[in-house]
């Protein structure tokens, strides 16, 4: 697979770069400090049609695909990683629906998700089931025309602000998760028995909310099942295959933002009578940072371009696409962590204080090695493709 950015993709990249600099960057530190959901970013994305990037035109989207999503996410993450999570979670929550919803379900849900009028969350992780998806315990028992759902979900991004949560449940406890035991059911905000528990106070991406979801005899109409009973594992895995390059794009953006800041700072800051950028010990660090970012970018764009060809249904994903998706996330997130740590070093003591953005970028980078499968899990996926 080769890729060449199209004129349309380049225009999107320029447009998002400008709006990120002009509208998102000025409040990035404030979003981090307040630790509240970034509604202002939602408004900016709504006005500029960014939630619709990956939705078909029929539902009000622009149908630009995974690479376009990644380009937009990268530009936003350069200035504000929390705002990038707003885009990412809308994609993560919508993908199970894109892969498995029927026409009536799409007609009902997609227009308001593509416009951003409604937000959506993805409820997989549980207190006892993180990396080991198969260990999830939330149950959905069919009674007449309802599923009765009981359980607890942990660390669910935006569950408190979303209209819908795509919830992974065990519908057949006798079957293994990957052999038909799991299903995905869409739960709507306000459904009796659905409530939000603890809100996490986080290290980074503090403009994105992360909460516990509690399900106590929560009654959901059977029409909210995605695909067939037992399709859950396939939906979850394919969703993550699609979204990992998008998290990788977030990591890439964070890294590029930190490098850009460090270069500008190193040109201005003088020690020993010279700009610090003239010291070889520092400019070799900058060269390493730049090279690592460019290598990660090629992998992220290649992985996301590969996913343009993957149908949004429950057909199998090729081993090569799975491998590239996992590699892009692992490489870009490790790059983001290394580059942001070095950017703090380049700013010296100023890198360590909140007046300068690189300490926020270093805190924000860390999550990209953890969510949607840790770096260790990506290695398991890559190795399984060998
Ligand atoms: C801010 C934030 C937002 C999140 N948003 C969402 C969301 O929207 N929806 C959702 O469903 N989840 C979400 N998560 C959950 C996230 O995906 C999980 O935290 C992640 O998958 C890891 O699971 P865990 O925390 O249970 O860690 P564990 O699975 O307990 O892992 C602990 C450590 O063990 C390692 N490990 C585990 N198994 C292996 C193995 N077989 N080999 C080697 N090492 C291993 C891991 O890499 C990790 O280092 C979010 C988490 C956070 C912190």
Query: What is the residue extent of each domain of the chain?
Result: 7-115, 120-226, 233-384
pLDDT of 1 over the 70 cut: no
**What pLDDT is recorded for position 126?**
98
Six-digit token string for 64: 């630009």
Question: In the chain, helix, strand, coil percent, each to 5?
Answer: 60, 15, 25
Average pLDDT, the chain: 97
Atom of ligand 1 nearest to the CA of 373: 21
Pairwise CA distance, residues 59 & 69, whole Å: 17
User: Ligand 1 pocket check: which of 35, 122, 155 to mutate, most ligand atoms within 8 Å of Cβ?
Assistant: 155
Please report, rounded to a whole number, the percentage of residues in the chain having pLDDT higher than 70: 99
pLDDT over 80 (residue 179): yes
What's the rounded Cα separation, in Å, for the pair 153 and 147?
Answer: 17
Q: Where are the alpha helices (DSSP H) in 269-318?
A: 280-308
Fold topology of 120-226: Butyryl-CoA Dehydrogenase, subunit A; domain 2 (2.40.110)
Average pLDDT over residues 335-351: 98
Residue nearest to atom 38 of ligand 1 (CA): 131
Structure tokens at 30: 């404030």
Asked whether residue 354 carries a pLDDT value surpassing 70, the answer given is yes
Secondary element (H or E) of residue 31: helix 28-34
Backbone φ/ψ region at 80: left (φ over 0), alpha (ψ -120 to 50), beta: beta
Q: Are strands 270-271 and 210-221 parallel, antiparallel or unpaired?
A: unpaired
Residue with CA nearest ligand 1 atom 26: 130
| Residue 3: predicted pLDDT | 79
Question: To the nearest whole percent, how much of the chain has pLDDT over 90?
Answer: 99
Distances (CA, A) of 272 to 249, 264, 278, 349: 38, 18, 11, 17
Segment (H or E) for 343:
helix 319-347
157 lines ligand 1 (CB under 6 A): yes
Mean pLDDT for 62-74 is 96
- Taking each helix axis from N to C end, the angle separating 232-268 and 358-367, rounded to the nearest 10 degrees, works out to 160
372 in active site: yes
239 Cα to the center of ligand 1, angstroms: 16
Asked if residue 168 lies in contact with residue 184, where contact means CB atoms within 8 angstroms, the answer is yes
Q: Is the CB of 243 under 6 A from ligand 1?
A: no
CATH 1.20.140.10 fits 233-384, yes or no: yes
Q: Which residue's C-alpha comes closest to atom 45 of ligand 1?
A: 376
Specify whether the CB–CB gap between 254 and 77 falls below 8 A. yes
pLDDT tens digits, one per residue of 255-281 = 999 999 999 999 999 999 999 999 999
Q: What is the mean pLDDT of residues 33-43?
A: 98
**Is CATH 1.10.540.10 the right assignment for the domain spanning 7-115?**
yes
Q: Contact at 8 Å (CB) between 303 and 328? A: yes
Of 79, 169, 85, 81, nearest in space to 124 by CA: 169
Binned at pLDDT 50, 70 and 90, residue 374 comes out as very high
Q: Of the residues 74, 75, 91, 372, which is catalytic?
A: 372
């Amino acid at each position: 697979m080769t890729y060449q950015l199209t004129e349309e993709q380049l225009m999107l990249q320029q447009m998002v770069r400008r709006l990120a600099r002009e509208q998102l960057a000025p409040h990035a530190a404030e979003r981090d400090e307040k630790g509240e959901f970034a509604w202002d970013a939602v408004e900016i994305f709504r006005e500029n049609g960014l939630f619709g990037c990956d939705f078909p035109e029929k539902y009000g989207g622009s149908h630009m695909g995974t690479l376009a999503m990644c380009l937009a996410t990268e530009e936003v993450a350069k200035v504000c990683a929390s705002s990038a999570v707003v885009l990412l979670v809308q994609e993560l929550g919508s993908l199970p629906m894109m892969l498995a919803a029927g026409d009536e379900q799409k007609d009902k849900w997609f227009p308001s998700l593509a416009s951003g009028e409604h937000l959506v969350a993805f409820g997989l992780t549980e207190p006892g089931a993180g990396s080991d998806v198969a260990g999830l315990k939330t149950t959905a028992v069919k009674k007449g025309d309802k599923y009765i759902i009981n359980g607890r979900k942990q660390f669910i991004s935006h569950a408190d602000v979303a209209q819908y949560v795509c919830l992974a449940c065990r519908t057949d406890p006798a079957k293994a998760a990957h052999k038909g035991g799991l299903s995905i059911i869409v739960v709507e905000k306000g459904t009796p028995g659905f409530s939000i528990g603890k809100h996490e106070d986080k290290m980074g991406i503090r403009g994105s909310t992360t909460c516990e979801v509690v399900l106590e005899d929560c009654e959901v109409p059977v029409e909210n099942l995605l695909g067939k009973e037992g399709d859950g594992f396939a939906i979850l895995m394919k969703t993550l295959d699609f979204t990992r390059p998008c998290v990788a794009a977030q990591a890439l953006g964070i890294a590029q933002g930190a490098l850009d800041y460090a270069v500008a700072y190193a040109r201005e800051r003088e020690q020993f009578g010279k700009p610090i950028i003239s010291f070889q010990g520092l400019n070799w660090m900058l060269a390493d940072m730049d090279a690592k970012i460019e290598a990660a970018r090629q992998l992220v764009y290649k992985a996301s371009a590969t996913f343009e060809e993957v149908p949004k249904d429950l057909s199998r994903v090729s081993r090569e696409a799975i491998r590239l998706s996992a590699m892009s996330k692992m490489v870009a997130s490790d790059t983001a962590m290394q580059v942001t740590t070095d950017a703090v070093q380049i700013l010296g003591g100023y890198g360590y204080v909140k007046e300068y953005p690189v300490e926020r970028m270093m805190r924000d980078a860390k999550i990209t090695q953890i969510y949607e499968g840790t770096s260790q899990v990506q290695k398991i996926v890559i190795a399984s493709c060998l």
